[in-house]
């Protein structure tokens, strides 16, 4: 059975596109057939994060307008043959697509893919409505900052108000354990407590993310905390029970002793 998942946040710049790229790649590594759809029309970026920017011929708007078949617009990933990208249009705007058209498209793609993952634009306007229209569930990305959490709360309200009530799971991104330890950053538990939805993953602020984005190769599954955190999210999406990572990493005995963020 296939699943349509929207990656959303409300606020911009919290890591939706990075999360989409890594979760999509991770699911492909778990031998799922995956298509990623960039729904941020006018501000195309998922192609860049995946390193596929030079291969775009057709885009999402071409598919919706019937200028090409979905198969013609989908780009096969460089590394995983079961991962595809349906890129967004760069020279159009959000009104080029309607929620009904998006739902029809995702429903058609269900026939062929295990996971259809939508990278949602920031904001709560039409781009957001388009992205959530066909989704079964949402991954809500936030950072431990007041503005990102307030916006995330608004998104939870909008997802609940949607006619097809959508389950949302929380990803707390860009955690800096050094600041958490000093009490100068909200903890994962704080964020979860405020938003009151299930946590599906916590990703540390890791410079490897910047490096992998520079190179256009998602780091999911690689031997660092962020890579492991993303892979764990993917395994939870496919239904495995995975214990939460100790984000304190290999920083020494004292930080290991605290074990504050180890959950079972």
Partner 1 sequence: MNLFEIFKKKNSGNVAKDRLKLLLVSDRANCSPEIMEQIKNDIINVIKKYMEIDCDGLDIQITQTESDTENGSVPALIANIPIKEVRH
Does 243 bind partner 1 (CB under 8 A)? Our answer is no
The residue range among 68-76, 153-161, 202-210, 221-229 that interacts with partner 1, by the rule CB under 8 A, is: 153-161
Question: Which of 25, 187, 213, 228 is close enough to bind partner 1 by CB under 8 A?
Answer: 187
Rounded to whole angstroms, the Cα distance separating 192 from 183 reads 16
Q: How far is the CB of 144 from partner 1 (least distance, A)?
A: 8
Does 211 bind partner 1 (CB under 8 A)? Our answer is no
Measured from the CB atom, the residue of 180 and 220 that comes closer to partner 1 is 180
Rounded to whole angstroms, the Cα distance separating 120 from 112 reads 22
Does 157 bind partner 1 (CB under 8 A)? Our answer is yes
Measured from the CB atom, the residue of 46 and 188 that comes closer to partner 1 is 188
Question: Which of 66, 161, 163, 184 is close enough to bind partner 1 by CB under 8 A?
Answer: 184
Does 225 bind partner 1 (CB under 8 A)? Our answer is no
Question: Which of 71, 79, 146, 167 is close enough to bind partner 1 by CB under 8 A?
Answer: 146
Q: How far is the CB of 182 from partner 1 (least distance, A)?
A: 7
Question: Which of 153, 169, 217, 246 is close enough to bind partner 1 by CB under 8 A?
Answer: 153
Question: Which of 69, 79, 150, 256 is close enough to bind partner 1 by CB under 8 A?
Answer: 150
Measured from the CB atom, the residue of 10 and 218 that comes closer to partner 1 is 10
Report which of 22, 44, 28, 16 is spatially closest to residue 138, judged by C-alpha positions: 16
The residue range among 38-46, 162-170, 187-195, 254-262 that interacts with partner 1, by the rule CB under 8 A, is: 187-195
Write out the residues near partner 1 by the rule CB under 8 A. 144-146, 149-150, 153-154, 157, 179-180, 182-187, 190, 193-194
């Amino acid at each position: 059975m296939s699943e349509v998942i929207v990656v959303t946040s409300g606020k911009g710049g919290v890591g939706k596109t990075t999360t989409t790229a890594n979760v999509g790649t991770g699911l492909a590594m778990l031998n799922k057939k995956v298509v990623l759809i960039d729904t941020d029309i006018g501000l195309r970026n998922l192609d860049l994060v995946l390193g596929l920017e030079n291969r775009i011929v057709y885009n999402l708007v071409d598919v919706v307008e019937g200028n090409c078949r979905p198969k013609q617009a989908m780009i096969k990933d460089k590394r995983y043959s079961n991962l595809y990208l349906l890129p967004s249009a760069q020279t159009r705007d959000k009104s080029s697509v309607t929620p009904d058209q998006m739902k029809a498209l995702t429903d058609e793609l269900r026939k062929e893919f295990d996971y259809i993952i939508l990278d949602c634009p920031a904001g709560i306007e039409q781009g957001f409505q388009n992205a959530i229209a066909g989704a079964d569930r949402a991954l809500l990305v936030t950072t431990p900052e007041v503005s990102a959490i307030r916006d995330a709360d608004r998104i939870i309200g909008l997802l609940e108000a949607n006619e097809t009530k959508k389950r949302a799971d929380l990803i707390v991104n860009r955690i800096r354990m050094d600041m958490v330890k000093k009490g100068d950053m909200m903890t994962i538990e704080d964020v979860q407590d405020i938003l009151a939805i299930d946590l599906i993953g916590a990703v540390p602020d890791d410079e490897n993310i910047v490096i992998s984005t520079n190179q256009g190769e998602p780091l999911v599954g690689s031997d660092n905390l962020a890579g492991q955190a993303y892979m764990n999210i993917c395994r939870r999406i496919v239904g495995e029970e995975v214990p939460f990572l100790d984000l304190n990493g290999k920083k020494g005995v004292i930080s290991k002793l605290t074990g504050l963020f180890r959950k079972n």
